[in-house]
Amino acid sequence: MSASPGRRVQDIDSARLALLNSGQAAAATLTECLAVDFAALMEATLPDIGTQAIATMREAAAAGIAQRMRLAARLVREALGPQAGDRLRKHSSDSVRGWTCFIVGAEDGMTLDQRLAAIRPLADDPHFGVREWAWMAVRPHLAADLDMAVSRLAGWSIDPSERIRRFTSEALRPRGVWCAHIATLKKHPEIALPVLELLRSDPSVYVQNSVGNWLNDASKDQPDWVRAICARWQAESPVPQTTLICRRALRVIDPKTRQGKRA
């Protein structure tokens, strides 16, 4: 049984919510992602995790979604070990696969290369939510070693998958969404150019929007740098894709560029 996804949590009917909470369905919208009862989902999908973990998850029901994702991953890892991530990677529930992202992010003793290799399949997941959790989970490790992160992600920026290419931009946004800012990139956005230059005329709107948002983040601290980058890119790459990226990049500091912007 299925139902049209509601615009608000309270609009989701009980049958649909039951499917989400039992892990039998993936969320179709952000609203559905937010509506999932993690304690119920944990009990349904990991009956061997123990009552204490489920009780702890239930106590955190009012916390923000990102906090609950990290908590769920910690509880799974503590109860079942880091190998639990392998068990959950292909689960039908996007939330459960999202827990795997944070298990990868929390694993001790991994090199950055190992962590990126582990997160890559999740960064390329068909579900929009899992892809967001993927970059968010490893972002602190990328921020801690920016030079190596940029070097590695530059190679991903030419990947055939638009999802992987978008990950390279989204994971390094100076400000980002639902995550800590990267102070070094706010002050020195040019560090990320080896990644951004490869995406400046990307054919995918999914990637274009991310790159435009990256530069819009940067414009809040380094507006002149963003103006200069956009001017150079449009001179060197006068194609519609680059124009759309730059319109998005300049939408706050140069509002006139919003004219003609993609809806």
The CATH number covering residue 244 comes to 1.25.40.290
Residue 195 lies in domain = 145-263
Q: How many CB atoms lie within 10 A of CB 28?
A: 20
Q: Is the same domain home to 5 and 123?
A: yes
The tokens for 95 are: 């939330």
State which amino acid sits at residue 191. Answer: I
Q: How confident is the prediction for the chain on average, in pLDDT?
A: 93
Q: How far apart are the first and last CA of the chain?
A: 34
Same domain, 93 and 214: no
Length of the chain counted residue by residue:
263
Both tokens of 55, joined, read 């009780």
Is the separation of the CB atoms in 61 and 39 below 8 Å?
yes
Could you say which of 103, 122, 144 is where a domain stops?
144
**Are residues 131 and 190 both part of a single domain?**
no
Residues 29 and 131 both lie in one domain = yes
Residue type, 93: S
Mean pLDDT of 90-116: 96
Predicted confidence at residue 43, as pLDDT, reads 96
Do 24 and 112 have their domain in common? Answer: yes
How many domains does the structure of the chain reveal?
A: 2
Does 85 have pLDDT greater than 60? yes
166 and 107 share a domain? Answer: no
Residue pointed to by tokens 């615009």? 7
Q: Given this model, what pLDDT does residue 9 score? A: 84
Q: Backbone dihedral region of 187: left (phi > 0), alpha (psi from -120 to 50 degrees) or beta?
A: alpha
Residue carrying structure tokens 């827990």: 99
What average pLDDT does range 32-36 have in this prediction? 94
Residue that has been written with the tokens 């702890």 in this structure: 56
Q: Structure tokens of 168?
A: 């390279």
